[in-house]
Every structure is written in structure tokens, then in C-alpha cells.
Chain A
Amino acid sequence: MRPDLEIIQEWIKADSRVLDLGCGDGSLLDYLKKSRNIVDIGLEIDSDNIEKCLARGVNVIEQNLNEGLTNFQSESFDTVVLTQTLQAVRFPDILVEEMLRIGRNCIVTFPNFGNWKSRLYLSARGRMPVSRFMPYQWYNTPNIHFCTVKDFDNLCHERSIEILCRTVVNSRHQGNWYMKAWPNLLGEIAIYHITRG
């Protein structure tokens, strides 16, 4: 069990309806189905991943997040989840607003660009950070909207989005007290539980 999924599942109510945007191979929904008896819908565009979802019995809809979520009714899900995808969509702010419209509460995780490693890489080398965790060059990266924990906090403040819980972990999804003390500097992955304030 991935530790971030462990954290996320704590926030999911039993028997609730969960929409996972960019659900990948369906492992999160599969896990939640078994542990929380949720009703699951995932959105995905990669055909191999879609097939893996079908093989697990995870409900998956071929739909591109960049084309919007207008086909989903307001408050039609208990929880809407977006893991490690926010930075790859064209309009992250609109997507977050849409998530809050569709779900009563939302879970967003993203790589924290404010992490000390990114800061050091950029300041020491003067080049866009490349790591094992984020192995792309600036021109071929699918991650077009990097942000930091502070940036996301700021977005939530501007848009009156209530942060129910915020936690950060490292790339192995482990957290500790000093990450909690300096999340924007030490956290590699940010995990937010938000709702419409």
C-alpha cells in the first residue's frame, strides 16, 4: 500500500461515491472499493491504464480532463480525487473549482516545487530541475503547471477554498515532524483535503 493512498483513504467515508480524475491503473479506486466499499468512477485517457481498470472491475471513463467536466452534475460525488495530475492539466484552477462543484470534498496531491532540492537545483545549476522522481526535460514534460505548497495555499485563500487538512511527504511517501514544520521547504509531495468554504 502506497503511504499516500493510506493517508487519502482516511478521508474517504465508507459506502460513499468517489470520482478519481486521472485514475491511472485504478489501484486507488480498487483499494477504496475493497477497504471502504465505495462506488467508484475513474477518468483516464491512457488505453493501457483503461484496460487495467477494466481487469480490476474498476469503472473507468475515457475522458480528457483538459476538455472539462461539464458532463458531471454538481454534488454528484462525495469525494473527488486528483493525485499527481494537477501540474499536468491546462487550467489547474478551473479544474479545482470544478472538482469542488462536483464533490462535497476533494483530495488533491501534487509535487511540491518549493522543495529544497528544486530550489537548490535551480539556484546552483541555473537549469530546470530534473530528478529521478521528475525525469523530464522542460520541453517534453507533461508537467506544465508546477506550483509550491505556498502557491496552492494562496490559491485556496483567493478562491475561499477551505483546507480541511494539509500534509506533505517525501517521494517515498513518508512524512515526519520536520516536514510538518517546514512543509514548503521539505515536503516533496503535498496532499490536500479541501472543500468549498
Chain B
Amino acid sequence: MPDVIPENSAGLVTPSVYHFDEPLTLRSGKVLSAYDLVVETYGELNADKTNAILICHALSGDHHAAGYHSLEDRKPGWWDHCIGPGKPIDTALFHVVCLNNLGGCGGSTGPVTVNPETGRPFGPDFPVVTVRDWVNSQKRLADRLGIKKWAAVIGGSLGGMQVLRWAISYPDSLHSAIAIAAAPKLSAQNIAFNEVARQSITSDPDFHEGRYIERDTYPKKGLTLARMVGHITYLSDSGMRSKFGQGGVIAGVSEGIEGNSDNTNFGRDLRAGKLSFGFDVDFQVESYLHYQGERFSKNFDANTYLLMTKALDYFDPSVDYDGELSHAFAGNRKPGVRDCKFLIMSFSSDWRFPPERSREIVDVLLHAGREVSYLQITADQGHDAFLLPIPRYARALTTFLQQVHREVVECAPTSK
């Protein structure tokens, strides 16, 4: 909880709910007859409505990207260091929009919402939603807000996939696309990790086939385990060594092993200073994962977790183009109109969506003849780096977006 809201914070924010009555046909063929989207905005929309940025959230994110809901909040929004006045996504220049995606558990229509047809929560009946469905719903939100063209659509990880989908489905509706730590589609290894997460949730006795809310319980163990596995894939080996090796050589000494030269002890810090010779938590890393997993399980819906991992697994825009993704980005050219430009960024120690996966996106865009910039940021924090204040990463975002602002607001509006 902040004593005073910092000056470069988006400040106190209140989410709004937008109701949509027009049925949304999903990729699966199922139809959502009506739905709500919960939305937060930061910064002023200009009169021409040209300075709007859409933020797409990742697996466990929501609409609360920046600022505080109240002074009692323990933490600000999930991307607060990046969004605010004077921050990389500068709310003094831009009007920033972030929503909770369909199927989420932050207030938009999802498994925890009461299904009007049955009078009970959707739970497992909530249809499987895909990245494409989200982007279609986001487009309707843009139409509602009167935003014809986003100055930028930005997202990391699963959010980056939504960015790519925007550029494919609505090429005329964005000036720039920023996809961070993303991939053109998941690998077998990625899907395998997701399946372990799903199995741990669905095999929890408290899952009750997804109907746990009506029984006033939730699959705490399963969701905790899912998050623990997920969390490991967000970190890197070297990052974990330094994160859990701060306390020096205690574990090494008791084991008769000397700490390594950078004194990070392979991240083997003990929780209680000595080994228990039992099967309880011995190492800091175990305790950390338990804590993170449990905290997450209290605040997140298990059915939503299942949906989000499926959306990841199913993402592959090349399926509509005979497996040739570059065609997806080449097919929408209009003479005299400059297509959106891309900024792709990756992190050196990310092994969930490593730099090579971002390079695949870059190469596809080059093949399609698109304007693209690419940075590989050296960072120790693994996939999580996209959420963290890393100087070179922050500077690149700042610089790129300031130029976007010059192009769409200050030098507007030519035929560009």
C-alpha cells in the first residue's frame, strides 16, 4: 500500500463495464449471445482519438494494468512500472486501454459469471475462447470507444499473440504492433507444460468437474501445482540461482560443497539454515514456489486457467494460410496505405518463448515485406523479464512510442 500515490503513477483508477448484446460467434462455432468486458483506461483520449494504445494481457493478467484501485491496495496494476505519466507507455501522451479478456476471472464474462440460461455459474460450460475471439471482442470494444485506429497494440507473451492477431485480422486498425516475448505458435514442449498444469487442476478432488463454485470450494492444490509448474517456466536457471542464492554458502557448507565463484551457491539457500532429512520444504526455492502457487490459487479461477492455457495451445494463425504465416501478414495491403509497423522484443534467458521464437516472427514479417524492428534484450529473469523494469527494454519502448506519437499525433494526419 502506498502512503502517497507516486507522481508517475496512473493514480486511482476505476474499472468500467461495457455490455455487448450483439452475439459473438467464436472460432469453435459456439456463440456468446451477450457478454461484459471490464476495462480500465489511463491518460486522456485526444479529440481525434488517434492517441489510444491497447494493452493485451497475458495468461494470468487482467484489466488492472496500472495505478491503484484504492489506497488500501497492496500493489499497483500488473504493468505499473511501464504505464503512467513519464513511463515507457506514457499516459501524458497516450490514452491507454486495458481490458480483461473473455473467459477471464477479473470481471469480464467468464466461467465465474452466472450463465443467464441456467442461473448458475458457467464453470466448465464456458466455451473455449481463442486469441482470435479475444481480438474480435477487443475490436468491438474499440468500435464502442470510437477508436478507429490504435496508435499501438502492445502485449507480452500471450498478449503478444493477440498483437499479432490484431495485425492479421484488423490490419487497418493499428498504426504499430509491439509483441514482446511471444511466439508464432506454441511448441510441443510449451503444450506439454500446459497439459501438466491442466491435469493437476482437473485431477484435484475439489475440482468437481469444474463445478466447484456451487460447492463453495476450489481446487486449491491443483491450481497451486499448476502455478508452481508454470512459474518455473517463467524463470531462468541463472535467474533462480541468483534469486535463491543470496544468503551465501549455508547449504553448500552443510553439504560439503563450496559455493560457486559468483557466490550465488547455485540458488541452494536453505529455508531454515539446515537440512530436515524429511520431505518437507528444505530450500528457499521450494518455499517460494509454494507461496506463489497458493497465493495465486486464492486469486485466480481454475476454469479460467484451463481456458487461458487452451487459448495458448490453439494459437497458430498460419492454419488459415496453409502453414505459411508470412501470407497472413502479406494479404491485407492496400495501395497508398502504409501498413502497421512492428516492434518485436525478446529476452536472452527466456526459455519459454526464447529469442529464436521471436526471430521466427521477425523473419515471417521480413518475408511478408513488412516494416519490423527487433531487439534481443540481455536479461537474467527468463520469460518474466517482459513484466520487469529492465533499462534497455524500457528505453526501447519509450523511444519507439515517442516516435509513434510523433507519427500519429504530431505529424498527423496525412495519408500515412
Q: Say if the beta carbon of A60 comes within 8 Å of chain B.
A: yes
Chain B contributes a number of interface residues (CB within 8 A of A) equal to 23
A158 to chain B, nearest CB (A): 30
Identify the stretch in A50-58, A91-99, A145-153 within 8 Å (CB) of chain B at 4 or more residues: A50-58
Identify the stretch in B10-18, B65-73, B243-251, B396-404 within 8 Å (CB) of chain A at 4 or more residues: B396-404
Contact between chains at B373 and A76 (CB < 8 Å): no
Q: How many A-B residue pairs have CB under 8 A?
A: 52
Contact count band on A: 20 to 34
Once bound together, how far apart are the Cα atoms of A85 and B362, in whole Å? 23
Q: Say if the beta carbon of B27 comes within 8 Å of chain A.
A: no
Interface residues of A in 140-184 (CB under 8 A from B): none
Contact between chains at B366 and A73 (CB < 8 Å): yes
Contact between chains at A71 and B403 (CB < 8 Å): no
With a CB–CB cut-off of 8 A, which chain A residues contact B407?
Answer: 57
Contact between chains at A61 and B362 (CB < 8 Å): yes
Once bound together, how far apart are the Cα atoms of A51 and B341, in whole Å? 16
Q: Say if the beta carbon of A8 comes within 8 Å of chain B.
A: no
B interface footprint on A41-57 (CB within 8 Å = 1, 0 otherwise): 10000010011011111
Q: Say if the beta carbon of B392 comes within 8 Å of chain A.
A: yes
With a CB–CB cut-off of 8 A, which chain B residues contact A17?
Answer: 369
Q: Say if the beta carbon of A59 comes within 8 Å of chain B.
A: yes
Interface residues of B in 365-407 (CB under 8 A from A): 366-367, 369, 371-376, 392, 395-396, 399-400, 402-403, 406-407
With a CB–CB cut-off of 8 A, which chain A residues contact B125?
Answer: none
Once bound together, how far apart are the Cα atoms of A41 and B371, in whole Å? 7
Once bound together, how far apart are the Cα atoms of A62 and B373, in whole Å? 8
With a CB–CB cut-off of 8 A, which chain B residues contact A71?
Answer: 359, 362-363, 366
Contact between chains at B395 and A62 (CB < 8 Å): no
With a CB–CB cut-off of 8 A, which chain A residues contact B399?
Answer: 51, 54-55
With a CB–CB cut-off of 8 A, which chain B residues contact A63?
Answer: 374
Q: Say if the beta carbon of A72 comes within 8 Å of chain B.
A: yes
Binding site for B on A (CB under 8 A): 17, 39-41, 47, 50-51, 53-57, 59-63, 71-73, 76
Name 23 A/B residue pairs within 8 A (Cβ), A-sorted: A40-B371, A41-B371, A50-B396, A51-B395, A51-B396, A51-B399, A54-B343, A54-B403, A55-B403, A57-B406, A59-B341, A59-B371, A59-B372, A59-B373, A60-B373, A61-B362, A62-B376, A63-B374, A71-B359, A72-B366, A73-B366, A76-B367, A76-B369
